[in-house]
Amino acid sequence: MSDKPSRSTVEAIYEELRDRICLLDLPPGAPLREQAIAEEFGVSRTPVREALTMLRIDGLVVRREGGGTTVSTVDLKRMRDVYALRIKLSELIADFLKNPVPGHIPDELRKIRQRVVDAAPTRDPKLLGELYTELHEALLDAIANETLKQISDRLYRQTARVWVQLLPEMDWDEEVRIFLDEIDESLEALEGNAARHVAEIRSKHMIMLLNRFNEYLTRPLI
């Protein structure tokens, strides 16, 4: 019998660690110890190493000098580069949107919207980050091209933690309002099967978010 770990095992470990990094359960600089992770998932260290390699390719973890792996810090230039690519890729949504859009997708967006409204008073960045990822996943479900979905998802995960990290110091009420606007605009476009409009909304809100990041990161300290 082969000792090679199954792809599903490696993917499961990768996705769980990736999600913890994106939601700051594993913050920048946090150590990732192979043995501890292997024990948590009940596997050998081999699939853990493969999952960590995938996370390194994504830029979410780095190897330390002398061995060991830690969660990477946010590289602002890399973040902007990834956003630039995400914005360009969003234009392709218009070419690959399912037509008609399956009815469960608008239904899911309505559920997310209500959960955002319910979450607003908590001022919990992690909760809002989870909901934004759910919006991202629901909108991915409307795309018919699997390769575009996979690439878009991996790029999203590379930038997702930035918003969660900055939220406590940004204008919470404004961020919630913009989030709800994006859901409402996306709903209208999906229900009208307006593929070009869906793509424009995704691109617009990515540009808006990147601009808010830039304004925050370049603000005077005093």
- b/e for 38-62, b at 16 or more Cβ within 10 A? beebebeeebbbbbbebbeebbbbb
What integer pLDDT is reported at residue 2 of this predicted model?
42
What integer pLDDT is reported at residue 219 of this predicted model?
64
Low-confidence winner among 2-6, 45-49, 122-126, 162-166 (lowest mean pLDDT) = 2-6
**Domains in the chain, CATH or no CATH each:** 7-71 (1.10.10.10), 76-217 (1.20.120.530)
Rounded to an integer, the average pLDDT of 82-111 is 95
Q: Residue 1: pLDDT above 60?
A: no
Indicate the average pLDDT of the chain: 92
What would the pLDDT profile of 49-90 be if each residue is shown by its tens digit?
A: 999 999 999 999 999 877 789 999 988 888 889 999 999 999
Rounded to an integer, the average pLDDT of 38-49 is 96
Q: Which of 183, 195, 191, 196 is nearest to 102 (CA)?
A: 191
Rounded to an integer, the average pLDDT of 8-30 is 96
* CA 120 – CA 128 distance, rounded (Å): 8
Amino acid at 38: A
pTM: 0.90
What would the pLDDT profile of 202-216 be if each residue is shown by its tens digit?
A: 999 999 999 998 887
DSSP letter (8 states) at residue 66: T
- pLDDT bin (cut points 50, 70, 90) of residue 4 is low
What integer pLDDT is reported at residue 218 of this predicted model?
72
Rounded to an integer, the average pLDDT of 183-196 is 95
What integer pLDDT is reported at residue 48 of this predicted model?
97
Element (H, E) at 179: helix 172-191
CB 10 within 8 A of CB 18: no
For the chain, give the percent of residues with pLDDT over 70.
Answer: 95
Rounded to an integer, the average pLDDT of 126-143 is 97
Q: What angle do helix axes 146-166 and 7-22 make, rounded to 10 degrees? A: 30
What would the pLDDT profile of 171-180 be if each residue is shown by its tens digit?
A: 999 999 999 9
